[in-house]
Amino acid sequence: MSSTEVEILLVEDNPADADLALHALRRDHLANTIHVARDGEEALDFLFCRGPHSQRSPDRQPRLVLLDLKLPKVDGMEVLREIKNNPRTKVIPVVILTSSREEKDVVNGYQLGVNAYIQKPVDFEQFRESIRQLGMFWLVVNEPPPPNAFQAK
Amino acid sequence: MSHSLLQNLPIGRKLVVATMLVTGTALVLTCLGFVLFDISKLRQYFVRFLQIQSEMVASNSVSAVLFEDSESANATLASLRADPQITFAQIVRKGGRTLATYRRSDLAESEYLPDLSALPSDGFQFSQDRFSISRRILSEGEPIGTLYIQADAREMYARMKGYGWIALIILVTACAVALWVSMRVQRVVSQPILELTEAARTISREKNYSIVVPADRDDELGVLGKTFNEMLRQILTDMEARSRAEEALRRNEERLNLALRSAGMGTWSWEIETDHITSDEYLGPLYGLAPGQFPQNFEGFARLLHREDRDRVEQEVARSVEHDVEYNTEYAVIFPDGRFRWIAARGKTHRDESNRPVRMTGICWDVNDRKQAEEEIRKLNAELEGRVEQRTAELVATNKELEAFTYSVSHDLRAPLRHVDGFARILVEDYGSQLDPEARRYLQRVQDGTRQMGQLVDDLLDLTRLGRQELRRQATGVNSMVNEVMAQLQQDFEGRQIEWKIDRLPFVDCDPALMKQVFSNLLSNAVKFTRLREKAVIEVGTADLNGQPVVFVRDNGVGFSMKYADKLFGVFQRLHRQEDFEGTGVGLATVQRIIHKHGGKIWAEAELDKGATFYFTLSIAAESQSTIEETIGGKS
């Protein structure tokens, strides 16, 4: 697994949501390698190559992190804070994908440096459309940060 | 001395003395003058008579002297016998020889031997009872001898005495008459004065001011009497007024005392100069002392106070004395048994003409119960505040919980919905061909259900969010809001024939986001409930309700029965079946809450199958007041 490039890190504790997101992403062939982290701690271990992911190279980071906010152990905001506080990871585009429409979450997210905030539409059709669009944008349209951007300065 | 003697005499005596002095003096002077004049006349007459006699005798005796004829000389002298007053006569020749001598027959030879040598020539002399005269006897101008005649003056003196007696009798009689008259006169004058004096004496003795002195005369004494009576009358009036005032004062004092007693007050007075305190019998017990045992100086008073209050009370007393402010304070007093009670004191500084403080007077009363009650209230207040704080904290906590709840509603409730919807859709899309039509229909029901519940969650969240949201008011044009909402609703009425009648609408003072939601709900309702109309008419306008501008949204849709009007704005209250008109029953509740939050009112008028009108009041932004008035005026 460490040899293949992970295109998307999906941080989602709910397996149903994870399934639906994966279904949508794969249906449009937007991403082949998607790693699902089931809680905040696992997401951080993955990104900082700790614990079970200590074999992973910190130079090969995912092109996009899809982050849910309500997570066991370490919540989404904390994960976001750690990512954006660390010079090695702060360039990774992070998109919050959450069911929360709370204004304070939106504000907090942007203040911590999130790259986009998407509220999961209740309607599955709209949800699928959102996923499709954000996959299209971040994986196809957007120019990713070059590898040396991940090195600490 | 006589002046003061006169001054002390009674007025009647004074008048008599004055009259008598004047009358007496006049009479005495008159009599004296009369007598002296008469005496002088008598003497003159007497001298003249003797001179004539001596003249006659001297000329008759010239030849006798010349010839030293003693006989003839004696005969000449003897002619003097005719006058009994002449007692002695003698002719003496020049050289001293006596030529003739006459002597009244009844006289002895030894008697009347006048010292003729003492007589001046041609002169006369009065002695005790005689009158002597000398005359030179001349012959051809040459003195040849001297004639001496001596007369008895006693008769003359007797006549003089007679005059004196007459004068005296006249004097005495006149004086008696004068005395009698003056006494009568003085009675007329002095009687009223004496009466006045007696009246004054009686008044001063008996304090009886109702006496009236007779004053029926027109002279000065009458005036005096009338004035005196008038004065008495005034005094009587004044005294009556004074006695009434005193009575009133006495009653006031009684009332004041009664008030002080019933209020449990004690009074005090402090002479500042001498540092002496006088107090009534009620003051002592207020300080836990026996009646009348209140200290008599400031130091003693200060010792009764609670240590913590002493300095403050002293300062307040000083302030009242120096700056003429009212002394009004409360302090704790230590009783001899160690208890302490709260006393209130109030007082005033009195000053003399030069504004120097002289004394302070005031009252004290017990305010212990009030103080305790105040303390109680203070404690209760503190407790209450504590409770309020606690409640507030609880409320804050509840609010936080509520927030957490709505958060989890928005997050946790929505997620399963999406799953249900998502997997139902995947089933339809990916496995639809393997399912029979009924299974697909059921899947459709599942999807409808999830969509409706999603809407419900959203609406509920909107409603709850309203509760804690602060209004951000600003002047907002209603027309522009309506236009924006219409643009958003566009897709809901595409292909339908709707006539929009949008009036010129005012600017209102509101939170634009919330107000937009009001119009969004009302207009989407209007669009929804006119769905069955071939030509829908939706109107937004303003009207005037008892002088208050209102905005209304009217449609010609299915309307509703007014008997359900009270349910219209309740949460989850619906007047239509779900299959006829979809909805959650939250929209109008949200609208009402927004209007209420803006301080407005909302109500609806409708008729089944004829349409509905929703009215609501809004505060018109100041600058557009004229606009809406114009609009309303134009409509009516």
Residue pLDDT, tens place only, A47-80: 998 888 888 887 788 889 999 988 888 889 999 9
One-letter amino acid identity for B178? Answer: A
Distance of CA B106 to CAs A148, B90, B103, B127, Å? 206, 17, 8, 20
Mark yes or no for CB contact A122/B461 under 8 Å.
Answer: no
Q: Is residue B14 exposed (0-12), middle (13-18) or buried (19+ Cβ within 10 Å)?
A: middle
Mark yes or no for CB contact A16/B416 under 8 Å.
Answer: yes
Distance CA B55, CA B61 (A): 10
- In the DSSP assignment, the letter for residue A63 is S
State which residue of chain A sits closest to B413, comparing Cα positions.
A99
User: How far does the CA of residue A61 sit from the closest CA of chain B (Å)?
Assistant: 29
Contact present, B211 and B203 (Cβ < 8 Å): yes
State the DSSP string of B163-188: HHHHHHHHHHHHHHHHHHHHHHHHHH
Tell me which residues of chain B, numbers 279 to 298, contact chain A at a CB-CB cutoff of 8 Å.
none
Q: What ipTM describes this predicted complex?
A: 0.74
- In the DSSP assignment, the letter for residue B470 is P
Q: Does B470 touch chain A (CB under 8 A)?
A: no
Alpha helices in A48-148, H assignment, sequence order? 76-85, 103-112, 124-135
For B267, phi then psi, to 5°, come to -115, 155
Mark yes or no for CB contact B411/A125 under 8 Å.
Answer: no
3-class SS at A147? Answer: helix
- Interhelix angle B154-206/B11-60, nearest 10 degrees: 170
In this predicted structure, what is the pLDDT of residue B116? 63
Q: Does B410 touch chain A (CB under 8 A)?
A: yes
Mark yes or no for CB contact A14/B415 under 8 Å.
Answer: yes
Q: What is the 3-state secondary structure (H, E, C) of B508-522?
A: EEECHHHHHHHHHHH
Mutation target to probe the B interface, by most B beta carbons within 10 A, among A99, A104, A127 is A99
Distance CA B413, CA B457 (A): 8
Mark yes or no for CB contact B457/A127 under 8 Å.
Answer: no
Mark yes or no for CB contact B423/A20 under 8 Å.
Answer: yes
Q: What is the mean pLDDT of each run of 10 residues along chain B (636 residues)?
A: 66 80 85 85 84 85 84 84 83 82 74 62 76 84 84 81 86 86 80 82 83 79 84 88 92 88 89 92 89 89 90 92 89 89 92 90 91 91 91 86 73 78 88 89 87 81 74 88 90 87 90 90 92 91 85 92 85 78 84 88 90 88 52 42
Question: B86-93 and B142-152 as β-strands: parallel, antiparallel, unpaired?
Answer: antiparallel
In this predicted structure, what is the pLDDT of residue B636? 36
Contact present, B507 and B469 (Cβ < 8 Å): no
Distance CA B481, CA B474 (A): 13
Which residue of A16, A99, A124 is in closest CB contact with B411? A99
Q: Is the pTM of this model over 0.80?
A: no
3-class SS at B101? Answer: strand
In this predicted structure, what is the pLDDT of residue A6? 73
State which residue of chain B sits closest to A12, comparing Cα positions.
B415
Cα dihedral across residues B148, B151, B157, B162: positive or negative: negative
Mark yes or no for CB contact A20/B411 under 8 Å.
Answer: no
State which residue of chain A sits closest to B465, comparing Cα positions.
A102
In this predicted structure, what is the pLDDT of residue B628? 47
User: How far does the CA of residue A19 sit from the closest CA of chain B (Å)?
Assistant: 9
Mark yes or no for CB contact B422/A69 under 8 Å.
Answer: no
Mark yes or no for CB contact B461/A101 under 8 Å.
Answer: yes
Contact present, B587 and B572 (Cβ < 8 Å): no
State which residue of chain B sits closest to A119, comparing Cα positions.
B411
> Which residues neighbour B251 within 8 Å (Cβ) at sequence distance 6 or greater?
none
Distance CA B634, CA B628 (A): 9
One-letter amino acid identity for B62? Answer: V
In this predicted structure, what is the pLDDT of residue B109? 62
